[in-house]
Structure 1
Amino acid sequence: MHNLASVEEFQLVSKKEKVIFFFNADWCGDCVFIKPEIPGIVKAHPEITFIKVDRDEFIELCEELSIVGIPSFLAYENGEEIGRFVSKNRKTKEEIEAFIQTL
């Protein structure tokens, strides 16, 4: 999984392909909880680009996108938001897979 490098990269990537942005932070217990499951989720969906977004590094982007809690997932395709799994609650692998199936 690639780490987001800039807001410009977010804008560019979200317009070109099917992508899921994974918003997280190193200090977040719920992010640490789900982190071991992420590589398997990414591998199971080669048709989707996954990009990790450090909430602390991109706090203004998170505010702009109404990311109210982490970990959270925001999906785009061809410049349009096609889904979001955003909440303050802990996420499970099964919930993330269910979210991806709705896209």
Structure 2
Amino acid sequence: MQTLPKTDKQGLLDLIGDKKTILFFSADWCPDCRFIKPVMPQIETENAEYTFLAVDRDENLDLCVELDVFGIPSFMAFENGVETGRFVNKDRKTKVEVEKFINSLVVA
């Protein structure tokens, strides 16, 4: 999974363009992020139609504020530069919950 460099919302939108993208917001110090991180490669492989980007919450705090992402781990999906879904809260996420979120996404 590629890591998103420090950016703002416009920089993010420019980077992802029209690709189907899922952002994975986390931080190294977050125990719930460390819980889901080991299964992320499998989730990424099973959803190859998406580009996955890891977003370090501490590195991109301003971006998180712009996107209203205040809990981690969290996920946001974009297609054609438009948000198509979010799974954003401070609760621990399981592989099944993340898969359910991805399967629920609507095409923009």
TM > 0.5 between the two?
yes
TM-score under structure 1 normalisation? 0.95
Kept in 1, the 8 Å contact 2:72–2:90? The answer is yes
Q: Deviations over 1:2-54 (max 9, x none)?
A: 00013265122333210000000000000001111100000101110000000
The answer as to whether partners of 2:76 and 2:87 remain within 8 angstroms in 1 is: yes
Give the count of matched residue pairs.
103
Identical residues among aligned pairs (%) = 52
In structure 1, give the amino acid aligned to 2:4. L
Matched, 1:91 2:93: yes
Q: Secondary structure at the match of 2:70?
A: coil
61-70 or 8-17, which deviates more? 8-17
Find the residue that maps to 1:74 and give its secondary structure: strand
Unaligned runs of 5+ residues in structure 1 are none
Partner of 1:43: 45
Q: Which runs of 4+ in 1 moved over 4 A?
A: none
With normalisation by structure 2, the TM-score equals 0.91
On the 8 A contact 2:32/2:92 being kept in 1, the answer is yes
Superposition RMSD in Å? 1.1
